[in-house]
């Protein structure tokens, strides 16, 4: 249930501005997708207009903004927000931390899961897997790009190449695991936690891990952007982000 104060804040925004527009009002990276969807569902249940969101890799959404698109707010990695801020003046106090997440592996629910707690165990698990779904690093997927460096560090990049199933972004790889199409999928842990049909095998070992801080940032200074900023930094939003595994920023 969305807090009444947030509903009041959103009610001050003209409904047509929160409804369907020429461009989505929220650009959200895959790591934040399921939390944003929960907030959208809560708004819909409360009879409120639901802002449209576009979901993609951090890199793809960052590049759309740098090319000139202007959603009201973005939910991207801190590095991507910094890249946008370097090219575009952001409103004062228009950036807030969502939390941080690490890269993890997903497997279909009910399937036995391998040990991935050490680099050696992870190496053995990957080599034993028939296929592994991972977001295409060429599209700016944070987890996908990092996973390719992990394969290099483990010395198995060439051996794994024919096993990899590249997908546009991590959420799709996790969905493949949920359907039983792949035994393992690599993505941000927040794209795996609390999703039907999949289980979190584990995070990458500490020595190979990449922790990424995500932020919400306003790209416009208008009532629509301010209302969405209140929504995405509300207690309800913090609970939604925590539910899918976001941890406080270090």
Same domain for 49 and 116, yes or no, is no
Give the CATH number for residue 204: 3.40.190.10
Q: Which domain holds residue 62?
A: 4-100+213-243
Report the pLDDT value the prediction gives residue 123, as an integer from 0 to 100.
98
Across-strand partners of 100?
A: 213, 247
In a domain? residue 51: yes
Helix axis angle, 4-11 relative to 223-232, nearest 10°? 170
Answer yes or no: is 84 within a domain.
yes
Placement of tokens 């979190």 in the chain: 200
Q: Are 88 and 143 contained in the same domain?
A: no
- Residue 82, pLDDT > 50, answer yes
Q: Nearest-CA neighbor of 39 among 84, 16, 73? A: 73
The answer, yes or no, to whether residue 31 has pLDDT greater than 50, is: yes
249 part of a folded domain: no
Indicate the burial class of 166 (C-beta count within 10 angstroms; 0-12, 13-18, 19 or more): middle
The structural domain count of the chain equals: 2
Q: What is the dihedral of CA 21, 26, 28, 34, to 10 degrees?
A: -90
In whole angstroms, what is the distance from residue 245 CA to residue 191 CA? 9
Specify whether 69 is located in the same domain as 145.
Answer: no
pLDDT of residue 2: 62
Kindly state whether residue 248 falls inside one of the protein's structural domains. Answer: no
Average pLDDT value for the chain = 92
pLDDT digits (tens, 9 = 90+) for 137-159: 999 999 999 999 999 999 999 99
Residue 77 near residue 58, CB atoms below 8 Å: yes
Pairing of strands 198-203, 103-108: antiparallel
Residues 111 and 204 occupy one common structural domain: yes
pLDDT in tens, 100-127: 999 999 999 999 999 999 999 999 999 9
Question: 154 and 238: one domain?
Answer: no
* 7 and 48 Cβ atoms separated by less than 8 Å: yes
User: What confidence score (pLDDT) does residue 44 get?
Assistant: 93
Same domain, yes or no, for 86 and 180?
no
Q: Which of 232, 235, 242 is nearest to 95 (CA)?
A: 232
Within-domain flag for 127 = yes
């Amino acid at each position: 249930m969305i807090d009444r104060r947030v509903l009041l804040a959103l009610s001050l925004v003209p409904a047509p501005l929160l409804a369907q527009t020429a461009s989505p009002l929220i650009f959200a990276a895959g790591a934040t997708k399921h939390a944003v969807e929960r907030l959208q569902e809560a708004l819909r249940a409360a009879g409120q207009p639901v802002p449209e969101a576009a979901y993609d890799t951090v890199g793809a959404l960052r590049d759309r903004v740098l090319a000139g698109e202007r959603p009201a707010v973005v939910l991207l990695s801190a590095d991507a927000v910094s890249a946008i801020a370097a090219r575009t003046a952001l409103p004062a106090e228009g950036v807030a931390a969502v939390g941080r997440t690490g890269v993890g592996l997903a497997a279909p629910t009910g399937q036995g899961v391998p040990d991935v707690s050490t680099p050696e165990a992870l190496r053995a698990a990957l080599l034993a897997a028939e296929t592994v779904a991972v977001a295409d690093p060429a599209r700016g997927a944070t987890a996908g790009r990092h996973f390719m460096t992990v394969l290099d560090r483990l010395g198995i990049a060439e051996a794994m190449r024919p096993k990899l199933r590249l997908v546009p972004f991590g959420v799709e790889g996790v969905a493949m695991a949920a359907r039983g199409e792949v035994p393992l999928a690599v993505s941000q842990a927040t794209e795996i936690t609390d999703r039907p049909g999949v289980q979190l095998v584990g995070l990458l070992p500490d020595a190979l891990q990449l922790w990424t801080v995500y932020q919400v940032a306003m790209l416009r200074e208008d009532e629509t952007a301010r209302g969405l900023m209140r929504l995405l930094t509300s207690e309800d939003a913090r609970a939604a982000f925590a539910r899918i595994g976001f941890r406080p920023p270090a």
